[in-house]
Copies of this chain bind each other. A is one copy, B any other.
Amino acid sequence: MTTTTQDAYSQLVALGREAGLLKSMEGLLGWDQETTMPPGGAEYRATQLALLARLAHERLSSDEMGELISAAESSIDIEADTVEAANVRAWRRDHDRAVKLPSSLVEEQAATASAAQHEWAEARKDSDFRRFLPWLEKTVELTRRQAECYGWAEDGEPWDALAEDYEPGCTAAGVAEVFGPLRDRLKSLLDELMGASVRPSGRLDELELPQDQQMAFVRDVAGNLGFDFTRGRLDRSTHPFCGGSHCDDVRMTTRFHSGMIIDALGSTMHEAGHGLYEQGIPFEHIGTPCGSSVSLGIHESQSRMWENQVGRSRSFWEWCTPRLAGHFGDVVSEIDVEAAYQCANRVAPGFIRVEADEATYNMHIMIRFELERDLMTGNLQPADLPGAWNEKYRDYLGLEVPDDRRGCLQDIHWSMGAIGYFPTYTLGNLYCAQFFDAACEQIPGLVDGFAEGRFSPLLDWLRENIHRHGRRYTAAQLCERVTGRPLSADPLMNYLEGKLRPVHGL
């Protein structure tokens, strides 16, 4: 690099880092809102968050940013496999998208989302789709306009333009290509499992356990997985999430009921997976693209791996079952490794996505993907959503949806205007299984080590192969680098079949 180039790049980094700082504070204020803020703070908090978002967007979409990006591009090898080139490429992409969106549309979407979320919550309470319908229509119209501002490839469709926010490079056609074989194999597996005579024991989840002991237990587990509590926290919130500010201040939450310890543990291990990813991003890159995560799908691959591939394995329960006894005493004396393992691996189709097991979960996602894709092309009208929803639940899961509260009104996403988001959950499961296969191939005795509490070989491998790169590679590039293959449904299905058949006596 010449001095001038270096200057342009340094200035670009400084401006980009300022936008990053503003976003890091959005993260903190968002966490505070869900865990700590007194209810009276809600109104002004919305104003604080809106200002941070505007200031970050101003920097990202500014002419100055555009000029600095051009200057940096003009004198480095922009396709090189370096941190600098990766940062400039990512800033180019983010800047170009930011300038395409008129602020009038951004503001209208923010205002609509705020009102629509409120109406959705009320409508869900009363299972009253008619109440939500005008807001869904408005949201669909605005997201279509947003898609038009971004544009899409000639052989693409509007959905692609929106999904780019959550899973860069992802297209509806690409998703459909992976989801197709997944759906077929999954349907066969579910038919098999539902026809099996063995029902795994749910006894562990029925035990009433004090919530402060549950907190101590899940903290113990998260710390053993490698979550660094000097650079993060674990608190309670209604809906578990992982947020916070940056790699050295990661805030995750979980939830407790008097029973359902598997839910509390699973939620914690899931969020710890997100948290370990965040903590594995190098501080030196913070505020730049290489200091942030690749995509929601890759993020989800990390949370699912600790929740499922680790937390629902027999090895894990060999280590964890005695720990249960250490924390809860005699109350759990009847639970042996087999009982705990079974409880973590029960499968049963249900109406609610967030309560779904490892196998049926992906069916919920595929249904949403197909519906939102059709809403965007116009093949499905918002008014026809409940009928289309219920038909797919009948077809995919053999269920008769009793009401819209347990049907198309259950998720918040569409009311927030988040269309293109849902598939990242299943993409996460797919990436996860494929990454985990690679880890097992490369680390001898990986899964057996869980039984002795040896989780660091997996964490080290994830840090080395995924976390430390931040956004340096796209999801597809990362998948090829780490696994040597493009994304496929096979690893996930092999994993599910290999585990769930024996649990059900097949």
Bound form: Cα–Cα A38–B228 in Å? 10
Cβ-defined contact, B21 with A48, below 8 A: yes
The stretch of A5-13, A25-33, A420-428, A467-475 in contact with B is A25-33
Cβ-defined contact, A38 with B232, below 8 A: yes
- CB-contacts of A403-445 with B (<8 A): none
Q: Which of B45, B232, B246, B249 contacts A249 (CB 8 A)?
A: B45
Residues from chain B with a CB closer than 8 A to the CB of A37 are 249
Cβ-defined contact, B24 with A48, below 8 A: yes
- Nearest 8 interchain pairs by C-beta: A41-B249, A40-B231, A40-B248, A21-B51, A39-B230, A40-B230, A44-B246, A38-B231
Main secondary structure of the interface of A (DSSP, over half): helix
Cβ-defined contact, B233 with A51, below 8 A: no
Residue-wise, chain A 49-62 has the 8 Å CB interface mask toward B (1 for contact) of: 00110010000000
Other A-B pairs beyond A40-B230, A44-B246, A44-B248, 17, CB < 8 Å: A18-B51, A24-B44, A25-B25, A25-B29, A25-B48, A25-B52, A28-B29, A36-B36, A38-B231, A38-B232, A38-B233, A38-B248, A38-B249, A40-B232, A41-B246, A44-B245, A55-B55
Judge whether A74 is part of the interface by a CB distance below 8 angstroms: no
Bound form: Cα–Cα A44–B232 in Å? 13
Bound form: Cα–Cα A248–B42 in Å? 9
Residue-wise, chain A 244-281 has the 8 Å CB interface mask toward B (1 for contact) of: 01101100000000000000000000000000000000
Nearest CB of B to A20, in Å: 10
Nearest CB of B to A293, in Å: 17
Residues from chain B with a CB closer than 8 A to the CB of A230 are 38-40
Residue-wise, chain A 221-232 has the 8 Å CB interface mask toward B (1 for contact) of: 000000011111
Judge whether A98 is part of the interface by a CB distance below 8 angstroms: no
* 19 A–B pairs (Cβ distance < 8 Å), ordered by A: A18-B51, A21-B48, A24-B44, A25-B48, A25-B52, A28-B29, A32-B32, A38-B229, A38-B231, A38-B232, A38-B248, A38-B249, A41-B249, A43-B248, A44-B246, A44-B249, A44-B283, A45-B249, A48-B245
Bound form: Cα–Cα A40–B281 in Å? 14
- Interface range, A side: 20 to 34
Residues from chain B with a CB closer than 8 A to the CB of A82 are none
Residues from chain B with a CB closer than 8 A to the CB of A44 are 24, 245-246, 248-249, 283, 286
Identify the interface centre among A43, A44, A246: most chain B CB within 10 Å of its CB.
A44
With A25-B25, A43-B248 as contacts: A233 and B48 at CB distance below 8 Å: no
Judge whether A466 is part of the interface by a CB distance below 8 angstroms: no
Judge whether A197 is part of the interface by a CB distance below 8 angstroms: no
Q: Which of B36, B38, B39, B248 contacts A41 (CB 8 A)?
A: B248
Bound form: Cα–Cα A248–B232 in Å? 27
Residues from chain B with a CB closer than 8 A to the CB of A38 are 229-233, 248-249
Residues from chain B with a CB closer than 8 A to the CB of A21 are 47-48, 51
Judge whether A22 is part of the interface by a CB distance below 8 angstroms: yes
Bound form: Cα–Cα A45–B230 in Å? 14
With A32-B28, A48-B25 as contacts: A40 and B228 at CB distance below 8 Å: yes
Nearest CB of B to A189, in Å: 42
Residues from chain B with a CB closer than 8 A to the CB of A28 are 29, 32, 48
Nearest CB of B to A57, in Å: 15
Residues from chain B with a CB closer than 8 A to the CB of A32 are 28, 32
Bound form: Cα–Cα A179–B105 in Å? 60
Nearest CB of B to A229, in Å: 7
Residues from chain B with a CB closer than 8 A to the CB of A283 are 44
Nearest CB of B to A287, in Å: 9
Bound form: Cα–Cα A106–B283 in Å? 27
With A21-B48, A29-B25 as contacts: A41 and B229 at CB distance below 8 Å: no
